[in-house]
Amino acid sequence: MARTLRTKLANRWNLSALTQAGAADFGATAADVAEAAQQRADVLERLAHMAEIHGAADALKSAGRYRLFEMARTCDHCPHERKCARALYAASKPCAKDVDFCPNAAEYAALTMAGGAAHAS
């Protein structure tokens, strides 16, 4: 626990030195980079699991960085963290209707539709 706290403090210290120009190299603001660095450690894993459930795993891999950032931000602030964990890590694989509480559900549906349209052409 002490190591985790030291790591978080070191990250905050390093991020506080990030300039707007440095953040622009990531295509973001310094505040956006700092927020992304402070997200829960499992956000990307949850996004990937949810994308798989919604049939959007391939589409998520090719999604734009701004869309991914917004989806990750939404996931990080989700009020259904426990419900999500129970669904994602259950012994049986859930279907999309089992996780319709996800605030990113509409994004996954849009990714699926966009991915299907790309494969149809």
Q: How far apart are CA 98 and CA 53, in angstroms?
A: 9
User: What are the tokens at 76?
Assistant: 């990080």
Q: What is the pLDDT of residue 39?
A: 79
The verdict on 20 and 75 lying in the same domain is no
The verdict on 34 and 49 lying in the same domain is no
Q: How far apart are CA 40 and CA 73, in angstroms?
A: 10
Domain of residue 17: give its range.
Answer: 1-38
Identify the band that residue 83 occupies on the pLDDT scale cut at 50, 70 and 90: very high
The verdict on 19 and 71 lying in the same domain is no
Q: How far apart are CA 47 and CA 84, in angstroms?
A: 11
User: What are the tokens at 108?
Assistant: 């996954």
For residue 33, pLDDT beyond 80: no
Place of tokens 């700092």: 34
- pTM of the predicted model, to two decimals? 0.71
